[in-house]
Protein backbone atom coordinates (compact mmCIF):
# COMPACT_ATOMS: atom_id res chain seq x y z
CA UNK A 1 0.00 0.00 0.00
CA UNK A 2 1.41 3.37 -0.99
CA UNK A 3 0.17 6.32 1.09
CA UNK A 4 0.69 10.05 0.67
CA UNK A 5 0.66 11.69 4.10
CA UNK A 6 -0.22 15.39 4.22
CA UNK A 7 0.50 17.61 7.22
CA UNK A 8 -1.57 20.62 6.12
CA UNK A 9 -0.35 24.15 6.59
CA UNK A 10 -0.66 27.38 4.67
CA UNK A 11 3.03 28.32 4.82
CA UNK A 12 4.51 24.80 5.00
CA UNK A 13 2.46 21.79 3.91
CA UNK A 14 4.39 18.63 4.76
CA UNK A 15 4.16 15.74 2.29
CA UNK A 16 5.55 12.24 2.56
CA UNK A 17 5.00 8.98 0.72
CA UNK A 18 5.43 5.63 2.44
CA UNK A 19 5.04 2.19 0.89
CA UNK A 20 4.41 -1.04 2.78
CA UNK A 21 1.98 -3.14 4.76
CA UNK A 22 1.30 -3.53 8.47
CA UNK A 23 3.67 -5.93 10.16
CA UNK A 24 6.47 -5.55 7.60
CA UNK A 25 9.27 -2.98 7.23
CA UNK A 26 8.08 0.22 5.57
CA UNK A 27 9.86 2.22 2.88
CA UNK A 28 9.99 5.97 2.46
CA UNK A 29 9.34 6.82 -1.19
CA UNK A 30 9.59 10.59 -0.90
CA UNK A 31 9.37 13.46 1.56
CA UNK A 32 9.21 17.22 1.28
CA UNK A 33 7.31 20.41 1.91
CA UNK A 34 5.07 22.52 -0.32
CA UNK A 35 5.87 26.12 0.66
CA UNK A 36 3.95 29.33 0.04
CA UNK A 37 5.04 32.91 0.77
CA UNK A 38 3.42 34.37 3.88
CA UNK A 39 2.87 37.71 2.16
CA UNK A 40 0.82 36.28 -0.76
CA UNK A 41 -2.97 36.40 -0.63
CA UNK A 42 -4.67 33.26 0.69
CA UNK A 43 -6.37 32.33 -2.59
CA UNK A 44 -3.04 32.35 -4.44
CA UNK A 45 -1.38 30.33 -1.66
CA UNK A 46 -4.11 27.68 -1.90
CA UNK A 47 -3.53 27.41 -5.66
CA UNK A 48 0.20 26.95 -4.97
CA UNK A 49 -0.58 24.17 -2.47
CA UNK A 50 -2.90 22.51 -4.98
CA UNK A 51 -0.21 22.59 -7.68
CA UNK A 52 2.37 21.17 -5.30
CA UNK A 53 0.08 18.36 -4.15
CA UNK A 54 -0.95 17.54 -7.72
CA UNK A 55 2.74 17.22 -8.59
CA UNK A 56 3.26 14.80 -5.68
CA UNK A 57 0.21 12.78 -6.73
CA UNK A 58 1.41 12.65 -10.36
CA UNK A 59 4.95 11.66 -9.41
CA UNK A 60 4.22 9.05 -6.71
CA UNK A 61 0.75 7.72 -7.63
CA UNK A 62 -0.35 6.78 -4.10
CA UNK A 63 -3.31 4.48 -3.45
CA UNK A 64 -4.45 6.43 -0.37
CA UNK A 65 -4.11 9.92 1.05
CA UNK A 66 -3.87 10.45 4.82
CA UNK A 67 -4.45 13.99 6.05
CA UNK A 68 -4.07 15.35 9.56
CA UNK A 69 -7.51 16.08 10.98
CA UNK A 70 -7.78 19.76 11.88
CA UNK A 71 -8.36 20.24 15.58
CA UNK A 72 -9.35 23.33 17.51
CA UNK A 73 -6.50 25.53 18.57
CA UNK A 74 -6.48 28.81 20.39
CA UNK A 75 -5.26 30.73 17.32
CA UNK A 76 -8.26 30.85 14.96
CA UNK A 77 -6.12 32.26 12.14
CA UNK A 78 -3.81 29.23 12.27
CA UNK A 79 -6.79 26.85 12.34
CA UNK A 80 -8.31 28.52 9.29
CA UNK A 81 -5.13 28.20 7.22
CA UNK A 82 -4.66 24.59 8.28
CA UNK A 83 -8.29 23.76 7.47
CA UNK A 84 -8.03 25.42 4.06
CA UNK A 85 -4.83 23.50 3.18
CA UNK A 86 -6.46 20.30 4.45
CA UNK A 87 -9.47 20.88 2.19
CA UNK A 88 -7.17 21.35 -0.82
CA UNK A 89 -5.47 18.00 -0.06
CA UNK A 90 -8.84 16.23 0.23
CA UNK A 91 -10.06 17.87 -2.99
CA UNK A 92 -6.96 16.80 -4.95
CA UNK A 93 -7.37 13.21 -3.73
CA UNK A 94 -11.13 13.10 -4.35
CA UNK A 95 -10.68 14.47 -7.87
CA UNK A 96 -8.56 11.37 -8.60
CA UNK A 97 -10.92 8.98 -6.82
CA UNK A 98 -8.38 8.27 -4.07
CA UNK A 99 -9.66 7.34 -0.61
CA UNK A 100 -8.89 9.96 2.04
CA UNK A 101 -8.37 9.15 5.71
CA UNK A 102 -8.25 11.78 8.44
CA UNK A 103 -6.13 11.07 11.52
CA UNK A 104 -5.88 13.27 14.62
CA UNK A 105 -2.45 14.37 15.81
CA UNK A 106 -2.78 12.24 18.95
CA UNK A 107 -3.74 9.15 16.86
CA UNK A 108 -0.66 9.63 14.72
CA UNK A 109 1.63 10.17 17.72
CA UNK A 110 0.21 7.12 19.49
CA UNK A 111 0.60 4.94 16.38
CA UNK A 112 4.18 5.97 15.74
CA UNK A 113 5.59 6.48 19.25
CA UNK A 114 3.19 4.65 21.55
CA UNK A 115 2.14 7.90 23.24
CA UNK A 116 -0.52 10.33 22.05
CA UNK A 117 1.34 13.09 23.89
CA UNK A 118 4.72 12.65 22.18
CA UNK A 119 6.55 15.80 21.12
CA UNK A 120 7.81 16.60 17.63
CA UNK A 121 11.33 15.36 18.41
CA UNK A 122 9.99 11.96 19.52
CA UNK A 123 7.86 11.66 16.38
CA UNK A 124 10.84 12.59 14.19
CA UNK A 125 13.08 10.08 15.98
CA UNK A 126 10.57 7.24 15.57
CA UNK A 127 9.89 8.07 11.91
CA UNK A 128 13.66 7.97 11.35
CA UNK A 129 13.93 4.61 13.07
CA UNK A 130 10.85 3.02 11.48
CA UNK A 131 11.87 4.05 7.96
CA UNK A 132 15.57 3.33 8.59
CA UNK A 133 16.61 6.87 7.60
CA UNK A 134 20.08 8.30 8.30
CA UNK A 135 18.59 11.37 10.02
CA UNK A 136 15.18 12.83 10.89
CA UNK A 137 13.39 14.54 7.98
CA UNK A 138 13.40 18.32 8.25
CA UNK A 139 11.41 20.41 8.81
CA UNK A 140 9.10 18.75 11.34
CA UNK A 141 6.18 19.14 8.91
CA UNK A 142 7.88 16.63 6.58
CA UNK A 143 8.41 14.13 9.42
CA UNK A 144 4.79 14.60 10.49
CA UNK A 145 3.60 13.81 6.94
CA UNK A 146 5.58 10.54 6.99
CA UNK A 147 4.12 9.75 10.43
CA UNK A 148 0.61 10.24 8.99
CA UNK A 149 1.35 7.80 6.17
CA UNK A 150 2.80 5.25 8.63
CA UNK A 151 -0.23 5.63 10.91
CA UNK A 152 -2.58 4.99 8.01
CA UNK A 153 -0.72 1.91 6.80
CA UNK A 154 -0.81 0.43 10.30
CA UNK A 155 -4.46 1.34 11.00
CA UNK A 156 -5.99 0.75 7.56
CA UNK A 157 -6.50 -3.05 7.87
CA UNK A 158 -8.59 -2.67 11.04
CA UNK A 159 -10.53 0.31 9.65
CA UNK A 160 -11.22 -1.57 6.39
CA UNK A 161 -12.56 -4.60 8.29
CA UNK A 162 -14.84 -2.34 10.34
CA UNK A 163 -16.14 -0.57 7.21
CA UNK A 164 -16.77 -3.91 5.46
CA UNK A 165 -18.69 -5.21 8.49
CA UNK A 166 -20.78 -2.04 8.61
CA UNK A 167 -21.53 -2.27 4.88
CA UNK A 168 -22.53 -5.94 5.22
CA UNK A 169 -24.83 -5.06 8.12
CA UNK A 170 -26.54 -2.39 6.00
CA UNK A 171 -27.08 -4.88 3.15
CA UNK A 172 -28.63 -7.53 5.41
CA UNK A 173 -32.37 -6.93 5.80
CA UNK A 174 -33.60 -6.56 9.32
CA UNK A 175 -35.69 -9.49 10.59
CA UNK A 176 -39.44 -8.97 10.41
CA UNK A 177 -40.99 -8.03 13.73
CA UNK A 178 -44.38 -9.10 14.88
CA UNK A 179 -46.48 -7.46 17.52
CA UNK A 180 -47.65 -9.68 20.34
CA UNK A 181 -51.36 -10.24 20.41
CA UNK A 182 -51.92 -9.54 16.70
CA UNK A 183 -52.64 -12.15 14.03
Phi, psi values for residue 58, rounded to 5°: -65, -45
| Cβ atoms of 152 and 103 closer than 8 Å | yes
Q: Which of 7, 63, 119, 135 is an active site residue?
A: 7
Is 144 among the residues known to form the active site? no
Active site residue 54: no
Nearest-10 Cα torsion for 110, 107, 19, 126: -30
Catalytic hit among 50, 55, 58, 68: 68
What span, in angstroms and rounded, lies between the C-alpha atoms of 153 and 135? 22
Catalytic pick among 58, 135, 141, 144: 141
Alpha-carbon gap, residue 102 to 94, rounded angstroms: 13
Does the active-site annotation cover 141? yes
Residues catalogued as catalytic: 7, 68, 141
Amino acid sequence: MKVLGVDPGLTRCGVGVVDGVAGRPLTMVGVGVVRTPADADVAHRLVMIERGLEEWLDTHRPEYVAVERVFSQHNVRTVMGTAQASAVAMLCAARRGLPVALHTPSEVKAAVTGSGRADKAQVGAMVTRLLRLPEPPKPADAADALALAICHIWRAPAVNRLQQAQAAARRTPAPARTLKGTR
